[in-house]
Each structure stands twice: as structure tokens, then as C-alpha cells.
Amino acid sequence: MKIVKQSSQEKHKNLEALRKKMEEGGFGELAANIPIEPKGAPKMSEILQQFVAPYLDNISTLRRRKALFSLAAIAWNTVLTAESEKQPILEAVL
């Protein structure tokens, strides 16, 4: 698998597009207030990798690895969601 490094400008453009998509979806104003790259903050991708690290040895395919990261992101985001909104999210995803 070839990894392509994005320029900082491309990365920022892609993150802005993601934020806009989230705003138009169910996240609304919550997404509008998310800082794209807070200075000095750890990268969420690195934290998510640490979160799933104990399970990676049991994953043998790229498809399953992607599924694990998706599930981890859903779990992470659901914890941050208001209690009244958690059940509908879990029902839609799982």
C-alpha cells in the first residue's frame, strides 16, 4: 500500500471540506466550532492509534483494520455526544 503525503494546504482544505460536510449533516453548529488543528494539541489520529493498539495484533487484513478504526472512531465520538443523542447514533451505526 502506497502512502501519499498531503501538503499542509491540501490537508487544511480537506479538513475544511469535512467540517462543512459535518455541519450540513447532523452535527450543525457543533462542527462549526471544532478547531481544525489546535496548536500544541496531540493529533487525534495518533491518539486513535493508541486506542486500538491492543487489538491490532489480532487483525490480519486491511479491511478489518479499517473496520476496527471505524468502530473506534464511532465509540470515541459517541462518548462525546449528549446522552439523549447516543441511542439513535448507535442504532443507526450498529
Domain match, 66 and 83 both: yes
Q: What is the pTM of this model?
A: 0.56
Domain that holds residue 15: 1-40
Pull the grid cell for residue 34: 471544532
Q: Which pLDDT score, from 0 to 100, does residue 54 have?
A: 95
Q: How many domains does the chain have?
A: 2
Domain match, 35 and 53 both: no
Q: Which pLDDT score, from 0 to 100, does residue 92 have?
A: 82
Domain match, 27 and 56 both: no
Q: How confident is the model at residue 5 (pLDDT cuts 50, 70, 90)?
A: low
Pull the grid cell for residue 36: 481544525
CA 11 to chain CA centroid, Å, is: 15
- Distance, in Å, from the CA atom of 75 to the CA atom of 71, rounded to the nearest integer, reads 6
Domain match, 73 and 55 both: yes
What pLDDT, in 10s, does the model give residues 18-67?
878 877 877 777 777 776 666 777 888 889 999 999 999 999 999 999 99
Domain match, 46 and 78 both: yes
Instruction: Flag whether pLDDT at 1 surpasses 60.
Output: no
CA distances from 3 to 6, 10, 14, 49, 74 (A): 10, 15, 16, 17, 24
Domain match, 60 and 27 both: no
